[in-house]
A and B are shown apart, each in its own frame.
Chain A
Amino acid sequence: MTKARTNASASPAVGRNIIINGAMNVAQRSASVTGIGAADGYFTCDRWEIDVAATSAGRLTMTQTADGPNGISANCIKLDCTTADTSIAAGESLRLIQKLEGQNLQRIGKGVAGAKQITVSFYVKASGAFTFGCELFDNDNSRQITKLFDTTTDWVRQELTFPADEDDGSSPFADDNGLSLQLAFFLHAGSNFTSGTLETTFANNTSANRAAGIDSFFSSDDNNFFLTGVQMEVGPVATEFEQEDIGVTLAKCQRYYYRPTTAGDLTGNTLGQAFSAAGVVGSFVYKETMRAAPTISLFSIGNGTAGQIRKTSDGATTSSAAAANIGLNSFGFATGMSSLTTGDAYDLTFTADAEL
């Protein structure tokens, strides 16, 4: 006899978690980055972006840390405030976000009749008792909703169910590879985002309502914030955190970012042949088909310097290398140089970035 799952009608048994790398197990770029807070960026755990509005004086270190809750994930994201900011300007904000493609969200049916509820669950702890915000922001229709959650010094699973949003009945998520929805953890905000009242249903965006009632992560340089086991699923119930094979998670992450070498290691390389003084032709292939044609950064194997490639025979480097003919699966050329030796072999490594 089979036993029906509580949320079976809304959420599949496998692949129900819409979030990628919710267990924080993949960090292709780096395990730890300091001095974050001046600009947006992807720094450590794949798919998780630090997003800032008007720049705060606050700074943090972001780390993939082996301190996850037992039985859920060995890893978590740790944010460690290193410079406090107690004078919060109106336009400041700090969010830890994941941006999602519309074509991965069609199961929600948002914006049309029959739209479904969304449940977000996650494991969180902090250096003390804080109230932060968990926001869903619909980029296609500029609608949002935020729910507050509290932290303690111990891991706690938060389970937040967001109401269905039929909107005007004709505003679905675009079924394409563009940005449709952000899951955001609002950790710091000025009055531009806090002076209103939280919406209780999805509503057209009013900035002042987005983070009303949250505390500031930057209130003290003693503050820490830990997050893992993030799951977003269709329906009103937070099911058990979905465990995923590391190879599956890595492949999902590599749709958005790929580096053939591990962080700080330039032992992996690709090889091409100069066809003129200006360019090298090669087969520079990504591991996965990427979301969109990616931004390429070229690096010399020899010294890791950006924009350089290396002559294989003698190790001499050449600057001003740019990638060309960049596609979804590979790029074909390194060009823009002026002193290559036609016919000689050159090696290089690269990163490919197709984040939203």
Chain B
Amino acid sequence: MPKTAAIALRLLALGIAPGLAAAQDVDFVRDVRPILQRRCESCHGAEKQKSGLRLDVKSEAFKGGDGDGPAIVPGDPASPILARVESEDESDRMPPSGGPLPAAEVATLRAWIERGATWPDGVDLARLEDRRDHWSFKPVRPPAVAIGDDAWSRGPIDRMILDRLTKEGLKPSPEADRTTWLRRVSFDLIGLPPTPEEVAAFVADAHPDAYERVVDRLLASPRYGERWAQHWLDVVRYADTHGFEVNTERPNAWPYRDYVVAAFNADTPYDRFVREQVVGDAMGKDAATGFLVTASVLLPGQIGADDVSKRLARQDAIDEIVVNVGQTFLGLSIGCARCHDHKFDPITARDYYAMQAFVAGVEYEDRPMQTPEALERRRSLAGLKAKAAELDRALARYEPPARPGRVRPKEPSPSINEDSFDPTEARFVRFTILDANLHPTLGLIEPCIDELEIYAEGPDARNLALAAAGAKVTASGSRTSGIHRLEHINDGRYGNSWSWMSDEPGRGTVTVELGGLARVNKVVWGRDRQGVFDDRLATAYTIEAGPSLDAMTTVVDAAPSRPAVDARGNSDRFAPVATRRVRFVVEATNNLEPCIDELEVFDASGVNVALATAGATARSSGDTTVFERHELRFINDGRYGNARSWMSSQVGAGWVEIDLGVERVVERVAWGRDRNGEYQDRLATAYRVEVQASDGSWATVADASDRRPSAAGARKPAGPTFSTAGLDDESARAVRAIQAERKALDGRIAAASREDLAFAGIFRKPDDIRLLNRGDPEQPKDPVAPAVPVALGSLALDARAGEQDRRRALAEWIASPDNPLTARVMVNRIWQGHFGTGLVETASDFGRMGTKPSHPELLDWLAAEFVRSGWAIKPMHRRIVLSATYRQSSRSDAEAAARDADARLLWRYPPRRLDAETIRDSMLAVAGRLDPKMGGPGYDLFDKRGGLSGFTPVESFKGDGLRRMIYAHKVRRERDAVFGAFDCPDAGQSTARRRESTTPIQALNLFNSRFTIDQAAALADVAAREAGEDVDARVRRAYRRVLTRDPTDVEAADAREVVARFGLATLARALLNCNEFLFTP
């Protein structure tokens, strides 16, 4: 309560003595009403209704306040009003200040209530207004307009404007010239100025429909949708980040922005536009429901762990949707009723929560779009995957068979390897590479040797392989470059820069012809003895030596090992064997209990016969069971990944056995730790695969002994890559061909698996919505079913209505021709887009707090026309911009301005400053740099796309940064460093109409920013290029580009002098800052 009122009450309390004995009859008018007036009405009267309670009107007084039940219960001495005035607790007692009521007054109230609280009808001093009695809630009633008997009007719009002007003693301004109109209509419809050529063409166009054709051209331009989508995005507070403290990127918001642009360009009927945004998921317009989730939202993890925080965050999230629906489509601020019955509009808290129930199943998340392309992709995916499986099977046939029980050979080192052997008489030494290690991203690639050295027996062994020693080398093939050359292999220099590289992945042969016959006993070689590179390392090879090429002996056999075990999957091939049971025995792991996501057993035709669905069963040595994560049944459920895996009960050991049900011939086992690639722990590093013979004995068919040791922490190749080690040339070629096909297929699978996501909400079972006392989620009251505000309609759904049905019903109700608000609100937004101010100045508030329409009949006429013409928006623009009203000059007139300073009655066209986006886009356009590329993810205005703090603005733009500003990645709260000061909304709350403030920061930004300096330079360049050498021509060209007119003689002379001294860019900078450029004429 204001302090002055409290003091007044105190004074009253001193001066007026209550004069009533309890024994007397209590008369409401004489005894009670004065108490209520004095003590209560300042807070519970016509002006204010704290807690929703009003005590100056009978019906309201007995109804009580928000969620508290009746305050006055006739005959009940426990009535809340008595309890409150008699309360001992100062914080609870009424009135809240001025001390307790005098005892006599309390006694009067008590006596009155006890005796039945008689409150005669017709004695109230205040009258309850009918809040439904409000112009915008009534049906649209278009007037009959008589047209044609005045020389000025071109249609009904003008007739109604003129009538009103005439009534006020005003008259329209003269028609603006063609250039002015063209500039105005271009800014209005496409947000860009006309080009000098467009101006010239229009001025010269003598056809009677010249104006009409300009309008048609502009409306057909894709630039139109970009311009008008911006107005819409302002209202729905679109942004590309999530807002609030973390303000992380919302990377898939832009499909909604693109949807809005496309919808305007396609002239989507407005009723359909409404439906699509509320329930587009049912209409093949998935991105459209981005509308529902444009608000800031707290993401999981930013909300408190406690339930109170979670409930509040959810309420806030739903509230934003209701607010958006109310403001955008209905022009009503329904959201206030979240905490209490709306103070001015006839919207109750119950109405509000009933609106929540329509959207209570919407979650702020990305959703895959069900576009025809996406559906087609999904269809093709199955085929591609089948093909991939086929190729994998083909490849598996070339897999080197396991050689269990092998003694592990020494592993080659990338730096240096010494292979000694018995002394052998040799003129030729051949080094044959059979396999190489896998590159982390490229897989199997061409091996490389930096130096191959051959030593003879004896105390002072020399390297006989050196070219300098007379040796010659040949190779199976070489990939030659500046650093890799065959002659580098025996040049005596080490390191990658002096090395040889084979031309074949994983294979290659080098033959050294020595200067003469020698008894050799050692070969030394390395990949990079400078220790920088460890890829391209020969891991399997043979060395042969002999006196001639026909008489070679194998002196070193570093036969191929199979690849090290890989957490993402392994294959063990063996000779086909008939068996019923296959057992995988783990002997060691890299740590902890072993875990296997799937064990597959393949027959000769490549079919996995271990699947439970194929009748196989599993048992094990013991399980660590984590429900729905690690269970024995997941070993053969056909699904990969840690979340569907088997885990042994023993650390570092355990076995799992598949009973195939019947005896089958099998030849390969495949197994992995986590084929989704997340986990590398719990990997079996030593294991054996056993099969059971019909006599019950077990035989080992594969183990890890012939695998390379698993290098802990080593970089792993990007995917399973098949080694060609040990294959003959023909097979190796076949493998490479299959691999190439497989790789191409991978790319197609990845492309087909890509979902086009849109931040457009996901839909689930609706929350149970309850009326919340004072908006507090911790004080839930009655359940509420979906319904529209009672004052506006009668649509109500069952509480069991399905999620989509709720939104569909809401959309239908909004988009109905009978809804008194929908069409009015939209035609008013269109009008505002052309005149700066709507017929209703408060474009998102058509409620009782909003302003009344300046031309109510015109508004209704437009609304009726809108609906009659199928809710089409483009014809509405056409009507407006071709009207005589719109064609007026914007010149001011002192006499008219004195009567109607704001020109709300449109005695002139009201000029206005361009908005931020139009200024930026137009600067780029006149400088010849605007990139018309449409759609897709936004370009950056800052050094990052979301996050906590410290956004550093991009200063100088190129590439995508030269697109229209609607395609900027909009970071909520961070206004653009240059144009944000021009009242660019921050996407926090809805912006129904751009403000038009003027600040010194705007001047600093526009005059000094790198952006302006860059565009001024570009403008100077293009004007010079177009105009040639003549300074006057250049000045004229710059004026035409920026202001679509020629300079006057005075201006030309002025400019010439500046250009002569400081260059054309100085003129350009001034032009880009001048008022004439920055205002709609």
The finding on whether chains A and B are genuine partners in a shared complex, rather than unrelated, reads no
Residues on A lying within 8 angstroms of B by beta carbon are: none
